[in-house]
Structure 1
Amino acid sequence: MKGLVTIALLVMSNTFMTLAWYGHLKFAEWKWFNKLGFISIIFISWGIALFEYMFQVPANKIGFKGNGGPFTLLQLKVIQELITLVIFAAFTIIVFKTESFRLNHIISFVFIMLAVYFMFKK
């Protein structure tokens, strides 16, 4: 159960992270957003990133083996990276519509899944 909660929290965290890091590139299509200065955009991104941390910190605390969770620190990081890449790919395809999912992307994800597999192999 802790493993599923950890993964769900990591998905939420990475959704906010992707929005904070790359959302402003899409927000630029809004007229009012283009009037904002660089510092304002940074503060908006920080505000969004706050929600990232509200999910990321509990995910790591719940999921870490040292706190009674199912994952080692290295496993947590690899899971987080996999989730980050999946969320980012979906965000890019759905929100920006400037990328298409191609064979090289599928091959990349296969190798990432292999990395996860080997990270968990005893």
Structure 2
Amino acid sequence: MAHPILCVDDSASIRQMVTFALQSAGYSASTAVDGADALTKLTGGPLSLIITDLNMPNMDGITMIRNVRTLPAYAGVPIVMLTTESDETKKQEGRSAGATGWLVKPFDQARLLAVVAKLVGPA
């Protein structure tokens, strides 16, 4: 079974680029448009990884991470922030919320896939 990965970003083009990269590498990818949408899509089913933006309407990435970490089925799922933010204070805030890793946009597809493979294994 391909590792199921949820990509959360308010930018349709980023969601498309990330899911294309993941699916081309053999991973299973689904999407959400913001943190609130992501939480509605977490149904207790298996999920290997969440990739999320930081700055989104309705619910930002850090708030979403804090909410995900309260759900027993997803408490241990790795979460990677994929954002334009590179400020160390924001990175620390993300780590404190429960983020596993941090990638800065624009992202390199090979780097993204290397991080995914390191966290969840090969597709």
Provide the TM-score with structure 1 as the length reference: 0.30
Larger strand percent:
2
Select the structure of larger CA radius of gyration.
1
The one of the two structures with greater contact order (alpha-carbon pairs below 8 A, sep at least 6) is: 1
Provide the TM-score with structure 2 as the length reference: 0.30
Larger helix percent:
1
